[in-house]
Each structure stands twice: as C-alpha cells, then as structure tokens.
Structure 1
C-alpha cells in the first residue's frame, strides 16, 4: 500500500486591473449631423412671430376696411345732401319764383300798354299808362310764365313797413322831453346830472342814418 498526499490547489492571484480613462466621442461630422435644440427653438419662435405678424396685419386690414366703408357711406350721404341743395337752389332761382317774390315786394308787371322808344329821334311810340297791381299776372293762362308746382311751400318775401317821418319825429321829441325831465329831477334832488341819451333817429327810406358823434 502506498500513502499519497493530497494537496489542495491554490488559486492564482488575480491580475490587478488598471482601467483606462478613455471615452468614445463622436466625430466632427457626426456632431454636425446631429440636430440641436437651438434650431428647433429658433424655428418655433419664427413661426410664432409670423403668426403674430399675420394676426396684426389682418386686424389692421379689417380696421382699414371698416374705415373705408364709413367714409364711403359719409360720401354718399353728402352727395345726396348736395344734390338736394342743388335742386332747392335751382327751384329758388327759377324765373317763376323770382317774379313772384318781386311782385310780393311791390313790383308790377304791365304788358297791356307797351311803350317803345325810337332811338333815331327819341320819339316815344305808344301811350304810357300807370301800371295797376291787379293787372300784374305772372303765371297762369293770362301770365307769361308757366306755374311751378314746387313753389307751393316757398314763403314770400314781404316789404318792410315804411315809417312815417312825422310820427318818428314826434316819438323822438317825446323821448327827449322825458330825458330832460328826468335830468332836471335828478339835479333838483342833488344827484349828479347825467348827459341825456340821444333819442332814436327817425328812419326814412330815402336817406341813410348817420351815427351820433360827440
């Protein structure tokens, strides 16, 4: 019999590992091909700016359209008003209205006794006669003008009433006497006398009133 010794195997020591600090980086071409977040942000911001600009432009255009429509409406109304005023002016300047207004002021149209003046020797042909207000017919079958139906509501101009010179002089004298009496009463009471105010100047259709100077 033999005696064999059994020996346990020993483990070999592990090799000490020395990791290398090396990182795998992308190449320059790969970095250029890789999309960046900045580009996306710029694109989104550009789209937002374009949207805001389009919105503001549409608001300005719509506001201008409303303003143009309002101006066109105002122009149309002013055109209608101008047309109405032009028609009214034509109606007031018609021969019928002028003749009627002249007749209301006292002018008389007389065609019954026409009188002619011959320039060769200055002779008067015809018999002159005073015109009568009752014979003045402007429109109608006996008149020289066709009646204008549009002149129905046009008011007639009336002549200003003439003032009697004698009555005006009496009124001025009475006013002067009243002023003198008031001045005398104030002087008797010890109050300072005031200059009398001039009375009203009588109006005469043949003369022009002159201002009172001191």
Structure 2
C-alpha cells in the first residue's frame, strides 16, 4: 500500500509539472512538505508499532550476515543502471533531461517519458518508506525529518546536474557512500546535528560551484 501511495504521489507531481507548468524542483519539494504535513495532521505524530516478524524481516533481517535491505539496494542500483544505459527509455530520459523542447521536436514522447519517470520515482520513495518502517518496526511522521536534505546532498555530491541531462546511478551511489561516511563519522564523534547540516550545506554549495565552473570550461 505504501508503495502504491508513492506511485500516486509521483503521478500527482507529474500532473503539477506537466499539466500546470510548475518548476520540477519546486513541485516535488512542495509536495513533499504537503504530504509530510498531512501525515502529521492525520496521525497527530503518533507512533504506530508493528510487531509482526514478517514485516520487520525485510528491514532488519540478514542472509549470512548480509542485510536484506542492502541486497535490495544493490539489486535496484543494478537494475537502474541497466535501464538508463541499455534501454531506449534510458537514452530518451537523458535527452529529455538535457533539452526537453529539442527532444520533443525530434519525436521523443517527452510527456510520457516524464510521467513514467515520476511514477517510478514515487514507487521507489514508497519502497524506501516501507523499508524504513520495517527496519524500525514502527512508523511515525517525525522520523527522517532531514531525509530530503540528505537526498539533495547525495544527488548533488554525486555529480547530477540540477539543469538535467547529466549524472548517473553509479555517481549517485558514490555520493551516497560519501555522505553516509561523513554522517556516521559525525555520529561517532558525537557532533551536534546542527553542525552536520552546516557541513552538508557547505558541501552542496561547493559541489554546485565546481559544477558551474566545469560547465563554463566545457562551453
């Protein structure tokens, strides 16, 4: 059910962006705040405890010491790389991200590519929420409040251009490892979360600055 809800939210984002013409970044971030606010209102930030072993095994279970969630992540990374690098859809997606109007004029169904992409991303977000609840054996609105900021940091550090058309799953995975290492290091050193946010903000600014400089050199 959570995964389907994620897909519906992804479809709603597609309608906001393609139907109304809202900037994609503003639309997706805005909808994230709306959904988060609705979850607070509807649940009153109550914690829902789930003590079913079948539910928690995916998030906290292991196979010969390897977490199921980690195996699922590696599987999704592999599938995503194949889709983006080896399929017509993947090549079209890069083209649409680089220049939507030029792609449309060349015959690429830009709207359908975008709709499928937003729905797919919504499904992945729903799966991430399900795994988080499974790992904690509970669900609560206030969990992972900095999740959006962390995702932005990972994507930007991974070299994905905010202008679209550049980036890869492999680079994003490297960004994930870098941010996870920094975050875990701060936790071990007992550094205040506020200082963590400051450093992540500085990392984002530096990554965007280098991206802008490299673009100028390429042009």
* Fold shared, TM-score > 0.5 on shorter chain: no
Higher-Rg structure is: 1
Query: Larger % of helix: which?
Result: 2
User: Which has the bigger relative contact order, CA under 8 A and spacing at least 6?
Assistant: 2
For Structure 1 versus Structure 2, the TM-score category normalised by the shorter chain is: under 0.3
Normalising by structure 1, we get a TM-score of 0.16
